[in-house]
Amino acid sequence: MIIKKRLATGAFGLLAAVVCGVLSPAAAVADDEPARESPKVELVLDVSGSMRARDVDGMSRMAAAKQAFNEVIDAVPDEVRLGIRTLGATYPGQDRKTGCLDSKQLYPVGRVDRTEAKTAVATLRPTGWTPIGLALRGASKDLAGGDATRRIVLITDGEDSCGQPDPCDVARELAAQGTHLVVDTLGLTLDSKVRDQLSCIAEATGGTYTAVQHTDQLSTRIKQLVRRAADTPVQTPTAVAGAEACAQAPVLGAGLYNDREGFGEHRWYRVKVAPGQELRASATVGADRAVDPDYGVMVRAVTERGRELVRGSEAGSGRTDVLSTGLRYPVAEGRDVEDSTPRTICLEVSQSFSAPASVKRTPGLPVELAVNIVDAGDPPGDVAAFGLGRGWVLLAVLTVTGLLVGLVWGWLARIRVTVWRTN
């Protein structure tokens, strides 16, 4: 009986050793990774006169926002650098020109001093106009510098009351800059015009729009977005400008790139691939504004003389945010095995998005191009998600761990049954 108990104890020890032994290399790899730059978040709060309305759980919109901000400030993760900007907080008059310049940074982006941040929020009173476009540009400057993730969280109860700059245009400008910036929007009313404008701002930058009607909902959502900034890995694409023909196209290496492409436009890029290597490329086009319901994206690999090698395409209909496609092309080794001269492959990215006449054409639609060059014959997992990591390593670790745990667990079950029968 004692021997069997010792066997069971030893088995549990073996199980722990197996799991730790299998998983420890991954932990060691994580320790070798460079420290990630602290993410930055700026909360942009509407302090216009309409925030006096008392329709959020019996309190004014301003009071609800203050309460939510205090809870968010208390819950900010240590690694997040937080700032606060206001719009419509200082000018109470009727002069449109002056009111539409009313946006300032209330608390600088950085490590949060909770007492100072709460004191700054406590001084706010509903006052003026709603220059959302101006505030978004200001927030982008507040978050400038470094390679960290950057997030703007806009809280407002109305649409922009100034018109210039248009908030949707500003959001597209920010997206076109190629920096890792996302704008999330929260609307304190269910007005359809407010919803449309805030949705447009969010969609242009890959953010989210949320309609909020209760204080706890507002607090919870802001906390989620702040935590999301801390959890989002950074992989900033390199800005590149494709050409109208392959001969003038930029030469790209393995990496992630972004560009802008007009409706129905074709863009060209070049990649050098040596014999025995394989080119893997994908293109993603974002619909950051209203588009017609039928669309498609195509990536082609051709020789410098125009002979098509391979293509990938995807089409769809209805509403979409992004559409992606990709291709793979191995460059065969020649008769002279010592010939390692790279071949030039031309990549053409085209899309068939169209839009109503009322939709602005500039800047073009955002395009993200992922390029990887691997040894021919490598499994697809080696470039899983194009730069997001070698996914097969984790899969293999988990598979082996599962098999070993299953074997040990079965052994333990047999010991337990034997002990039970003996008793």
Region of residue 410 (phi > 0: left; psi between -120 and 50: alpha; otherwise: beta): alpha
**Degrees (nearest 5) of the Cα angle 274, 271, 372?**
80
State how far the Cα of 349 lies from the Cα of 346, in Å rounded to an integer.
Answer: 10
Domain 238-383, classified CATH 2.60.120.380, yes or no:
yes
Contact 205, 179 (CB under 8 A): no
Contact 202, 184 (CB under 8 A): yes
State how far the Cα of 315 lies from the Cα of 294, in Å rounded to an integer.
Answer: 8
Tens of pLDDT along 386-409? Answer: 333 334 444 455 566 666 766 766
Residue type at position 259: D
The alpha carbon of residue 45 and the mean position of all alpha carbons in its chain are separated, in whole angstroms, by 22
State how far the Cα of 389 lies from the Cα of 371, in Å rounded to an integer.
Answer: 14
Q: How many CA atoms, within 13 angstroms, populate the side-chain half-sphere of residue 230? A: 13
Name which of 100, 102, 88 is nearest 164 in CA terms: 100
CB atoms within 10 A of CB 108: 13
* Domain locations in the chain as residue ranges: 2-33+391-422, 40-231, 238-383
Looking at residue 339, what is its pLDDT? 64
Q: Going by C-beta distance under 8 Å and a sequence separation of 6 or more, which residues neighbour residue 298?
A: 311, 312, 313, 314, 325, 348, 349, 350, 351
Looking at residue 22, what is its pLDDT? 39
Contact 186, 212 (CB under 8 A): yes
Q: Going by C-beta distance under 8 Å and a sequence separation of 6 or more, which residues neighbour residue 104?
A: 85, 86, 89, 90, 138
State how far the Cα of 89 lies from the Cα of 278, in Å rounded to an integer.
Answer: 57
Assign domain 40-231 one CATH number from 3.40.50.410, 3.40.190.10, 3.40.50.10490, 3.40.1410.10: 3.40.50.410
Which residues of the chain register pLDDT less than 70? 1-36, 178-179, 232-236, 334-339, 376-403, 405-406, 408-423
The alpha carbon of residue 371 and the mean position of all alpha carbons in its chain are separated, in whole angstroms, by 19
Looking at residue 112, what is its pLDDT? 92
State how far the Cα of 256 lies from the Cα of 369, in Å rounded to an integer.
Answer: 6
Looking at residue 173, what is its pLDDT? 84
Instruction: Give the pairing type, strands 40-46 and 150-156.
Output: parallel
Assess whether the previous peptide bond of 356 is cis (omega < 30° from 0). no
Same fold, 40-231 and 238-383: no
State how far the Cα of 251 lies from the Cα of 270, in Å rounded to an integer.
Answer: 5
